[in-house]
Amino acid sequence: MPAIEVKGLTYSYDGKTNAVDHISFEVEKGEVFGFLGPSGAGKSTTIKLLTRLIAPPRGTVFLLGQDMAQANHRFYRRIGIAFENDVLYPTLTGYENLYFHASLYGVKKEAIHSILRQMDIYHAKDKRVAEYSKGMKTRLVLARAMVTNPEILFLDEPTSGMDPEIAAHVRELLKGLNRHGTTMFVTTHDMHEAEKLCDRIAFFNKAKIVEIDTPSNYKKRYGRSSVVVEYPDSQRVFNREKELSEFIRAIQDNQWSSIHSQEATLEEIFIKVVGRGLKGE
């Protein structure tokens, strides 16, 4: 049974234009699945339907076998949701924010202290959230999503606003959770982030899924099969398929200063497949 199963999901706000248009996909248990699309593509609506912030039609969205059209409060302990907008209570402390959420699901205080330490914000647990930086708020939102030890985590821009060191720490924490079996559904505008975290990535545009594949397969299919050999005063580009023997001779001559593969980035591939960038250009 897949962790997430979506069957012909369609949704319209006005009854005229579909914000989500007949999308179908599966996410296996233990998989990190990226969902990438430009602003206005219908990405946020899709996440709201998957998590029942908007009730989906019956028989279209299943999480852990549960039809989300009929999910009740108890089911939500099995999933965690961390949106980019912090939706925190600014006049409460970090600890109070987390305790309020955890108490809804019967989570013990020890788990709250543990997750605050993991997210490296335990030192600020008694500060009001209004005094937190953007990166600290993002970590607190992640802590709230993770405090019930969910089987599926929905993550919207999980390292947004964090400095590189903290972002790397959080990324390793998420990878650790995934190694222990947590399934993750990730949206991000950072293709570098997606490549580091995701097993498969769906390109989403104009309410539809355009393509789903692994980062490495995207690069193999859409990347350039060439290598740049840099010399002290010049450079030469070799086609790896048509000029392999010449490339080998150039290396053996040992006159080069550096060698670089011309691998396409996921951002370039996204634009090639979708026709515009993640910011909608």
Domain ranges of the chain: 4-218, 219-274
What pLDDT score was predicted for residue 207? 93
State the DSSP H helix or E strand holding residue 144, giving kind and residue range, or none if neither: helix 134-146
What pLDDT score was predicted for residue 280? 52
Q: Return d(Cα 249, Cα 68) in angstroms, integer.
A: 60
Coil, helix or strand for 62? strand
What pLDDT score was predicted for residue 127? 96
Q: Return d(Cα 106, Cα 91) in angstroms, integer.
A: 23
Lowest mean pLDDT among 34-38, 228-232, 248-252: 248-252
Locate tokens 């709250």: which residue? 112
Residue 182: both structure tokens together: 């947590």
CB atoms under 10 Å from CB of 242, counted, come to 11
pLDDT band at 168 (very low <50, low <70, confident <90, very high): confident
What pLDDT score was predicted for residue 259? 82
Give pLDDT tens digits for 98-150: 999 999 888 888 889 999 998 899 999 999 999 998 888 988 999 999 999 99
Q: Return d(Cα 277, Cα 62) in angstroms, integer.
A: 30
pLDDT band at 192 (very low <50, low <70, confident <90, very high): confident
What pLDDT score was predicted for residue 277? 59
Q: Return d(Cα 230, Cα 257) in angstroms, integer.
A: 6
Q: Which of 30, 22, 23 has its CA nearest to residue 3?
A: 30
Residue 208: both structure tokens together: 């539809």
What pLDDT score was predicted for residue 249? 82
Mean pLDDT of the chain: 88
Q: Check if CATH label 1.10.3720.10 holds for domain 4-218.
A: no
Give pLDDT tens digits for 89-100: 999 999 999 999
Reported pTM: 0.84
Q: Is 32's pLDDT higher than 80? A: yes
Mean pLDDT of 171-181: 89
Residue 195: both structure tokens together: 């490549």
Lowest mean pLDDT among 40-54, 212-226, 231-245: 231-245
What pLDDT score was predicted for residue 6? 98
- Cα angle for residues 213, 215, 217 (degrees, 5° grid): 65
**Residue 58 CA from chain centroid, whole number:** 26
Name residue 20's beta-bridge partners: 11
Mean pLDDT of 236-252: 79
Mean pLDDT of 66-88: 89
